Structure 1
Amino acid sequence: MGRGRIAAVIGGLVLVAAAPAVLAAFKVTDPWVLGAVALVAALALVAAGFWQERLKRLGQRRDEQRFKVADGLLTFRSGRVPKVRQVRDPLPLGVHPSAPAQATGAEPGRVAGNRVPVYVPRDVDGELREQLAAGGFVLLVGDSTAGKTRAGFEALRAQLPDHQVFVPGDKNAGKDVMAALIERIGRARKAVLWLDDLEHFLRSGTLTSVQLARILGGRGHKVILATLRSAEEDQLTHLPPDSDATQRGLGDQAAHVLEQAHRIRLKRIFSPAELERAHVRAADERIADALDYAGEYGIAEYLAAGPHLQDAYDNAWAVGRNPRGAALVAAAVDCRRAGHLSPLPKALLEELHQGYLDEHGGQRLRPEPLEQAWQWATRQRRSTAALLQSVDENGARTEVFDYLVDRHQQRLGPTAHVPDRVIPVILRHAVTTDTEAVALQMQAQGRYGLAAAAFQQAVQARRDSDGEEHPSTLTSRGNLAGVLKDLGRLVEAEAEHRAVLGICRRVLGEKHPSTLISRNNLACVLRDLGQLGEAQALE
């Protein structure tokens, strides 16, 4: 029974309880009547109390279902970490919404009203649920909108309903937040760490193989369930043939994490068996509509409006359409490709977009005013998603639809570079974690001058916010020294490595892993400088 009906019942019972006073007002004195009415009124008060308590509990349950972010973690409003069975809405976990259901015969949305259609079982479901039951690190890999997140959500609900589910509230929150999150997971007996879009955690160094071991090596049954787009996997694991030792080292960091995962690949195009299961669920007109295009698009891809948004972007470049809006989107896509993973400042895209507009023809395209361009780019298509989605009330920051990034990366290949002119503009607007992510991306691509500028900015930001001896500051300084070595600026690299080693020895001790790494880094530079004696002493 809903809140409205319960409230109506309570109101009726209160009126019944007031009957004795009504009789007294009308000067009814018959003792039999008064006694009977008094008894009924007393029972009504008891019943009203019961229904009030039920209404209160219903309100509490509904309040619990409204999530908040506390200490970097998605929790109930009460601050409790939910169990899997208590998370009925997959949208906060990263599932793309679909258009609202229209057909009267459609099955009601079981988990999120009508924004999420009934689930079409996938061929990998059996393997996925078996791996979740076994525990460990499970990684779903596939194209954007292939249905990775929904498949993971449904498998969790079916297999591990009583596990607590830990969902980072901000994918770019940083290492300290992840460390605190891991501590909480360690205290839980049954827990799932949910990492949608794993590339955010790998590129920033937030998730390491050491942290994986801490989570999975603890007591109880622990699972890490993550998703990763195929294009991002290519970038993280396939380095150019001429990669140097530094680039290979950066790739190894991601590889050490990925090699510990049981990877399950989810195809964008549904198999014949999956299509049969979709036909069974075609009472939902959205699934029926998607089946009409199943030869060209995946069911999940079509439901998330990926093809519609891609078409809208491609067509917008035509003369007199929305070329300025398309330029804003192109700028956002390249910011993501450059390593900027957190929501993009509106001011950043406005500063960048003119270059993309000029590349496509500039004023010959008869571009629309900037305000109109933003309205077009942020408008929802098919009541589902926008090319650029605002993430705060004032629209100061936006997220680009990842399907567009995926398609662009597939079209150009994993090693294609964002134009050099874009990077300094990104750095002027970037927070520290994005500055470091961009620096690492530039270093991995062998663009050492841009990487050095980004690392220098990151080092200063870390000094200002965390102090000279904080591990994040030391990591940034070590990364800067590595890029200086790549540039052949060996004397500067030596000075940085010596400074970092001195702090590590004093603060962490001679045997700490960070100290040992710093010693090895300094030894490598000394060898390049010809100072072999000191280099050997450090090794």
Structure 2
Amino acid sequence: MSQDVHINFSRDNRRTPDWKGSTLASEWKSRKRGELKWWFPASAVAWGALAIFLGSVGWSPWVVVPLGILGVVGLAIGPFLKEKAKVKDASVTTRLQSMLTKGSGSALAPLADEVPLNTWRVHKSRIEVPYLRRDAEEQFITAVKNAEPVLVLGSSMAGKTRMAAQLIKENFSDTRVFIPDAPDGVSNILNVGDIPRGHVIWLDDLERYLRDPKDLKARWIQELQSNGNILVATMRSTSYESFMPNSEEQSKSGWDTLQCFTKVYLTDETAESVRLANSSGNPELSMGIMNYGLGTYLGGGYLAVERLEAGRSSKPAGRAFVLAAIDWQRAGVTDPIPRGTAENLLYAYLGSTQSRVTSSEITEGLAWATDKAGGGGLFGLVEETDEGLRPFDYLVDFVSSTNTPIPYSLWLAVERCVASGSQLNRAGVIAEASGQLPSAAVLFERAAMQGDQDGMHNYSISLERQDQIVEAMKWDQKAADAGNLQALTGLAVKMLRSGEQTDDALRMLREAADAGDGSAMANLGVVLLEKGKTAEGFEWYRRAADAGSALGMVNYGIQLEHQGDESAAKAWYERAKDRGDASGAAHFQLSMLADKLGDKDEADRLLREAVARRNPTAMGRLGMIMAGQGRHNEAKTLFEGAAQRGGAVGLAMVGRDLADQGKYPQAEQHFKRAIAQGLLGAVTDLDVMYANTGRIEEAKEQYMAAISANDDVALRNYGGLLIHEKKLAEGEETFRRAAAHGSAVGMYFTAEALFAGGKADDQAEALVLLEQAASLGNLDALCESGRRAADEGDLEEARLRLRKAADGGHTYAAECLRLIESHGGEV
């Protein structure tokens, strides 16, 4: 390959190029101005004046005459030299005016590696993809390295320019590139007597230079070749054929010039298209290659987008047809959009400025949209078939990449369309992801009615969101019977939430998990953890996450968070959210993390997104927040929704309402379902209900279970129950164990038990424990110690402690404080 190649414009010193390492040492010789220098005529005048002076003073004629001749000759040839300099100046100007690029520094042409693709006239692709190797490359390189002018032929979108430019940049990166302006850039250069040497001469769309025989001649191609230049041209096959001789005109203009080139044909043959599609690594690109060919799909796509944008003003009705056809595909219906449907949707795409479209505008617009002239005769923006209008695939991909919302009117049309169950289900999935839940529900129902398995399962999910649980389970059962694993998992989960047939549900989960369903794996992990099988449960979480289950990712992230690895947990939550996390579990966990980090706004936003996905845990938490704000009706609605979906907080809160209404059996069932999910507060709720209904022994059993789990609320209620029964001694051992673990409640009730025992030796220990509990902020301990201080006459300390307890909400402390103030210190 030549190194540091320059141009030498001359008509001699011709040589054949050797691309194996030789260097052509010629270079540009440019000047700022080519006019005659001032000193040349001045010198001539000076010589003449000197001759006259010397003659006047008697010098010899042999000296004076030659000096005079020099002056005359100088003045005579001055204009000639000046004109010659101007010609040189003009040739440099011509060079600059006849080329499309300029190199860095003093060079008049850039290196091949410096020339961007758009300068080679490569059509810009809207999809960023690496260059894909073509079958014709070896033939091209062989011809170029043999110093043969090369003409790449193919269809208008075959990728001719892209391939040739890529190969020149790769194989001749340090060779300078001369790109003559069309149509007369070559003729201008050669007509002033200049020939570039050691350059790549780039003639893209060669027909542009051949329209006038004076612009490009066969002998010029040969002359450029013999001066060590690489000539590369491209041309459409149809244009090439137009230059061929025929029976009426044996010698067409330009045909002789074309015969100077070695032809390399670039076609989108099936075998190459299959290879390119398989190696592209992009599903949309692969399909585009197979349907249209690589060059047409990428290069033609750019032109299609340009036409679509230009249609905003030139053919708005035609553009509306195209957009309707595109969005029909984006909505999940792969069949063409019926023409009548597209026509009815035109106003959704014309905008508010277009008040009325005439029938002629509709006809002209459709003709524009289907016209293949803008696509080199290979494609229109839409294709009209017997079924309707099908858009150019590239445009579908392009519009999809802009995330432009699909109009509501099109979703309504999709709801009513005639399509297969699988297409209706796919449209439902896209509608749901787009926030069009009513349309999604309609589409899932229609897909289910047609017997589509996925449609049945998705319809079940839709019904569940509407709290139609029984009907949802019926559709899950139908889909499961048809072999749908996700439906089998969904049915098992609904059974577990209802608290019925848990053994059958567990069997179904194992069946689906063993068959590879990630959601089943994640839910099986939940059940196993609830049963105390921690290691096995965590293992199923990991397997579910690796299998791509959003629920598995969330549950595995929760495990990592419990282990203190919040960054890894957040990464799994984000992955789950990015997968679409329909359950809202990832949003809820991210909300909790944001809340922990103090980002309240982000926490609230994510929490509400989780609630919008009907996540029962999120509904319970938001319900508690609403209740704390006094918005009890909203809180009740959230609790009921959470309870219907099996959320522990919702179950417990609905259970409290049922208990207040005297519906104890229903309340008990809700409390027990909440307890099964590990909600300790529900244990206390159940205890209280038992105690209030006279089921004291059952209440004590529940209290002891909760106390074993370090539930201080249960411990307090248990102590209160024993005080009421005057049986504090019965619980002393339990209280002491809790106190030993640092429980202020345990300390307080141990002190009370010792006080109640009446033993003198126990009083001192009781006072110490009471003081410890008070110092930890236990309200009961503060109240009791304050009351004792008042009895001993220390009213200041009594007021201090009682006020602190009263401010914390302790009603008895507040009453004691009022008694002190009104009775002079007696309590």
TM range (shorter): 0.3 to 0.5
TM-score by length of 2: 0.27
More helix by share: 2
Greater relative contact order (CA < 8 Å, ≥ 6 in sequence): 1
Structure with the greater alpha carbon radius of gyration: 2
